[in-house]
A and B are shown apart, each in its own frame.
Chain A
Amino acid sequence: MAKYSVKVFITYRKGVLDPQGVAVEKAAHQLGFKKVTDVRVGKYITMTIEAESENEVRKEIEEMAKKFLVNPVIEEYTYEIEEVK
């Protein structure tokens, strides 16, 4: 068994209004960061998973995403896996 460090990034899907993203973008513009566009505010979840292989970790994450981590009606996600040496 190896240990894997996992980072999950959850954001609203394209086309879903993100009121926080809109507010942050407006604030950035007010502060003079005029070139900033497409601000989206999301969630960043870290965890450690013990597994035989990276594939097994993928399965675990995707299963968790489906069951409760992500609401597919409004959210999408990506993740990164790194073996803990």
Chain B
Amino acid sequence: MVFGIPVYPGSNCDRDVGWVIEKVLGQKVRYLWHRETDLSGIDCIVIPGGFSYGDYLRAGAMAKLSPVTESICDFAERGGLVMGICNGFQILLEAGLLPGAMLPNKTLSFICKFVNLRVENNKTPFTSLYKKGEVVSIPIAHAEGNYTCPPETLREIEENGQVVVRYSSPDGEVSEEFNPNGSLNNIAGICNKKGNVFGLMPHPERASEAILGSTDGLKMFQSIVQSLLKA
């Protein structure tokens, strides 16, 4: 299995994601500099977190114009699996691969802490190894993770089961109290209608080894490997 990890100027979680895929899962990684366009032989793209182009203009706004992003859009169009983590999620939104947009956190602060997520949809290639309703502990680290979209889009993604993970209490209760950033309906991650593109603000790669305090994120990468094996 070959995972492609695009590297933009300012990406800073590329090696962390690569570590999990290579050292923890034993799969292959190809780093793709932002000017690269050849994705042949790649089975899955993981867009890492960080601050691509310094978050200039808007988080993800510059990265969507990179040659590698254009190739990723084609790859997704053909049904390829694409996961965007944190800044990667913001890039997917800006590129139009996922609906909606990010606003600054309600608190206006950069939030870096472990949060609880309730798995809403385990029928995606990214979450198939979780149980529906399972609560997992994965850290967030962002200033702009306040997910928003027009009311009709919200209705649509809720009805289609495109909300994949939601911020919750340790018991899975979803309420404003457990919403760290102000996201609509406590949304932490969504997928597209087809289910092959997934973006989330939390960092599963930072919760994939016991030494990091949680291994709850590892199943996300393992789900992808299993889905690819089945395909």
Interface mask (B52-71 → A, CB under 8 Å = 1, otherwise 0) = 00000110011011000000
For residue A19, which residues in chain B have a CB less than 8 angstroms away from its CB?
A: 103-108, 146, 182
A interface list, Cβ under 8 A from B: 12, 16-20, 23, 43, 68-69, 71, 73-74
Q: Is the CB of A74 within 8 A of B182?
A: no
Does B100 belong to the interface (CB within 8 Å)? Answer: yes
List 14 A-B pairs, Cβ < 8 Å.
A16-B103, A16-B148, A17-B146, A17-B148, A18-B103, A19-B106, A19-B146, A20-B104, A68-B57, A71-B58, A73-B93, A73-B101, A73-B149, A73-B150
Contacts of B14 in A (CB 8 A): none
* Contact (Cβ within 8 A) B108 A74: no
A71 touches B64 (CB 8 A): no
Q: How far is the CB of B146 from chain A (nearest CB, A)?
A: 7
- If A19-B182, A68-B61 touch, whether A74 touches B148 (CB-CB below 8 Å) is yes
Q: Do B105 and A71 have beta carbons less than 8 Å apart?
A: no
Q: Count residues on chain B whose CB falls below 8 Å from chain A CBs.
A: 21
- Interface: B94 (CB within 8 A): yes
Taking CB atoms, residues of chain A closer than 8 Å to B105 are: 19
Taken together as a complex, chains A and B put the C-alpha atoms of A71 and B149 apart, in Å, by 12
Query: What is the predominant secondary structure among interface residues of chain B facing chain A?
Result: loop
- Residues of A within 8 Å of B106, CB to CB, are 17, 19
- The docked-state distance in angstroms from the alpha carbon of A72 to that of B51 is 22
- Of the residues A17, A23, A71, contact of B61 by C-beta under 8 Å: A71
Residues of chain A contacted by B148 (CB below 8 angstroms): 16-17, 73-74
| B100 proximity list for chain A (CB < 8 A) | 73
| 13 more CB-based (< 8 A) A-B contacts, given A17-B106, A71-B94 | A19-B103, A19-B104, A19-B107, A23-B108, A43-B57, A68-B57, A68-B65, A73-B100, A73-B101, A73-B149, A74-B101, A74-B103, A74-B148
The distance from the CB of A71 to the nearest CB of chain B, in whole angstroms, is 5
Q: Which residues of B contact A20 (CB under 8 A)?
A: 104, 108
User: Closest CB-CB distance, B73 to chain A, in whole Å?
Assistant: 14
In the assembled complex, the CB of B90 is this many whole angstroms from the nearest CB of chain A, namely 11
Q: How far is the CA of A37 from the CA of B61 in the complex (A)?
A: 30
Which residues of B lie under 8 Å from residue A17 when comparing CB positions? 103, 106, 146, 148, 182
Which of B57, B64, B65, B108 counts the most A-chain CB atoms under 10 A from its CB? B57
| A-contacting residues, B131-152, CB 8 Å | 146, 148-150
Which residues from A are CB-within-8-Å of B104? 19-20
A78 and B181 CA atoms in complex are apart in Å by 29
- Closest B residue to A43 by beta carbon equals B57
